[in-house]
Chains A and B, each alone.
Chain A
Amino acid sequence: MRIRRLTVDYGTALLILCSLGFILPRLLPGDPFLAIYGEEALLNMTPETKAAIISSLSLDKPLGEQFAAYWLALLRGDLGWSYFFQAPVLSVIGAFLPWSLLLSGSALVLSTLAGFIAGVESGARRGSRFDNFSFTGLMALGGIPDFFIGALLLLAFAVHWPLFPLGGAVTAYGGKSGWALGADVLRHLALPLASLFAVRLASVYLLTRATVVGLLGSPFIRTARAKGCSAAAIRYRHIGRAALLPIATTAGLHLAHLFAGVLMVEILFGYPGMGALFGKALSARDYPLLQGILLVGTLTVLATNFLVDSLYPILDARVRKTCTSATKQQ
């Protein structure tokens, strides 16, 4: 019942977002061809390519058929043709995706872990100096936009003290292999990773702390103390265990912010992932590529959220219980 409801919700959301890609260029004044591909593209195009694109998008047909053609192309996995790279959008994205996955994946794992531990420690000692200090500090840190933290790190540790490279993911023509290559990749990863980590750390910390504080007075914690459990056991095996689920789910639900953060940080550091590609597409006004990147991002985020949402009752017995009783009542 719940799954079916969720599928309809997510399916409709996906339809709306994909249709935006159809509606937006046609909302702009003038020729939709111009809006979809941009003026610069038009100048660089041979008449044959133009004719091929027009017939593939059915731009010479009525609006209904154009819509059908748009959806058929999407279903085939055809996101359009990137005139800037002279290649299909999907294959361009595929070439840039791995670096983004490396960056965002490690940022997600590291910040969730560190934020969780800091949140449990701080929440369990609510009101202590450690708690006040980390709460104020991280709250301020969380308000700083990722691109500004990144810019400061870049200026401090790459420009002022050149400890880390200015940009890129590996030293070009470095001719390194094995461990040296690995170290090189890590050195390039350090600053972008640090900026994403810093911003996400705060949000995980604040959520964990709030959850922990909410749990502090519960009877099962009192029982644990009465049994004589050690402070560490109470923090991690009781409070931490109970707080884990909301944190795991919001880690999934905050993926959209991570994706946007990755775009900005990658542009900043010239990291060759989706963000750098997005920056290129923006400055070249390569609209099909731009739309492709955002669609792939949205699809990833929606798929993850759907998974998290539908796994939630399996992970948390309490939700499962309320769900079944709610269905019975209906």
Chain B
Amino acid sequence: MHIRYKATITNGAGRRGFFVLCFWGAAALAAPWLAPHAPDAYVGKAFSSPSLQHWFGTNDVGQDILSQLLFSARTSLIVALSAAGLANAAGLVIGGGCALLGDRADRTAARLIDIWLVIPPILGAMLAAAYLRPSPVLLAVILAAFFWTNSARLVRAQTLALKESDKIAAVRAIGAGPVYVFRRHILPEVWPVLWATIIHDARRAVFMEAGLAFLGICDPTAPSWGRMIQQALAFTYLDAWRWWLVPAGLAVSTVVVAFSLVGYALETVQNPRLAAHPEVSDAADR
């Protein structure tokens, strides 16, 4: 399948999402230089309101909230990118591998995928995380362990369809091995589909990281938007939530929405029927 990546960015929704992601990506990368303080340093009076010194004020123990926001972007995006990357790498290898090997390996793997798909990822990850109290990287591994089936199923279906095509038969006839065929002829065709699941997995991972941290299931040394919301909720009777809870919540929401916008734009480019073109609308529109 050929997709015009540029169209994803020129699509209004996709462009907005892409810019928001770039903004948070830059914030996460440059956090040590942008942040005025270390996220866990006690640098001011507790509950000071926003000022020139502390743009977003300070929290209950006098930590700088702006610095915490910036460093939390790191945690969130590290979890999102590594969970999505791992899940899709595993999906690619398992899905593509079993489709190419075929026969018994394929049947076993397909069955395993079917079974794994039945497990609700959100509950499985919660169960595992509640025991292991994971660091961001371990959390990404746990999430990937429950996310990989989607891409594995897609890659397998695509590979199976392509395997029967004439061009693959021709390449095999020249003597190309399965790994070469996969890398040179199947991977380029599978990529576009994989992009959509990568974005989807990243979105779910951001949400899960924040949600688990909100529940208190997190590494206490890693700053997290979810944990900021949880801590701020204990002080609703003060005004601190305005510069403490709301920015953290907005940060999670903008990242999640940005991922959905980019994902939606990708889907629209791949399947133009979904786009909102008034001239195509033909029924019941009176």
* B18 at interface by CB-CB < 8 Å: no
Nearest chain B CB to A301 CB, angstrom units:
5
A210 / chain B contacts, CB cutoff of 8 Å: 274
How long is the Cα–Cα vector from A275 to B203 in the complex, in angstroms? 24
Known contacts: A147-B211, A217-B283, A283-B216. The answer to whether A152 contacts B257 by CB under 8 A is no
A157 in contact (CB, < 8 A): no
Give CA–CA (A71, B223) in the complex, Å. 39
A69 in contact (CB, < 8 A):
no
Task: Say whether B128 contacts A264, CB under 8 Å.
Answer: no
Residues A294 and B123 in contact, CB atoms below 8 Å apart: yes
Tell me which residues from 101 to 133 in chain B have a Cβ below 8 Å from any Cβ of chain A.
Answer: 114-116, 118-124, 126-128, 130-132
Q: Cα distance A277–B279 when bound, in Å? A: 53
Looking at chain A's contact residues, is the secondary structure mostly helix, strand, loop, or mixed? helix
A140 to B13, alpha carbons, bound, how many Å? 11
Interface residues of chain B, those whose CB is within 8 Å of chain A, are: 13, 114-116, 118-124, 126-128, 130-132, 203, 207, 210-211, 214-217, 226, 229, 233, 236-237, 241, 245-246, 249, 252-253, 256-257, 259-261, 264, 273-274, 276-286
Identify which of B127, B236, B282, B286 contacts A291 (C-beta below 8 A).
Answer: B127
Check if A9 sits within 8 Å of B118, measured CB to CB. yes
Centre residue among B214, B216, B264, B286 by max chain A CB count within 10 A: B214
Q: Is the CB of B276 within 8 A of A126?
A: yes
B120 touches A287 (CB 8 A): no
Q: CA A238 – CA B253 in complex, angstroms?
A: 36
Verify A124–B257 contact, CB threshold 8 A. no
Enumerate chain A interface residues (CB-CB to B < 8 A): 8-10, 12-13, 16-17, 20-21, 24-25, 27-28, 35, 124-128, 131-132, 135-136, 139-140, 142-145, 147-148, 151-152, 154-155, 159, 210, 213-214, 216-217, 221-222, 225, 231, 234-235, 239, 255-257, 259-260, 263-264, 267-268, 278-279, 282-283, 287, 290-291, 294, 297-298, 301-302, 305
Could you say which of A143, A278, A301 contacts B256, with CB atoms under 8 Å apart?
Answer: A143
> Complex: how many Å from CA A234 to CA B286?
11
Q: Which residues on the B side are within 8 Å of A279 (C-beta)?
A: 215-216
Chain A nearest CB from B93 CB (Å) reads 21
Give the Cβ gap from A195 to chain B, nearest Cβ, in Å. 12
In contact, B128 and A20 (Cβ under 8 angstroms): yes
Task: Tell me the bound Cα distance from A101 to B159 in angstroms.
Answer: 44
With A and B bound together, what is the CA distance between A54 and B264 in angstroms?
53
Complex Cα gap A19–B177 (Å): 39
Nearest B residue (CB) for A159: B236
Contacts of B277 in A (CB 8 A): 126-127
Min CB distance A91 to B, Å, is 21
A291 and B124 CA atoms in complex are apart in Å by 11
Task: Please give 12 more A-B residue pairs, beta carbons under 8 A apart, in addition to A12-B115, A143-B260.
Answer: A124-B285, A126-B278, A126-B285, A139-B257, A144-B256, A155-B236, A155-B241, A214-B273, A216-B284, A255-B120, A283-B216, A287-B130
Cβ–Cβ < 8 Å partners of B282 in chain A: 216-217
B112: nearest chain-A partner, CB-CB: A12
Given the known A-B contacts A279-B215, A301-B120, are A28 and B261 also in contact in the complex, defined by CB atoms under 8 Å?
no
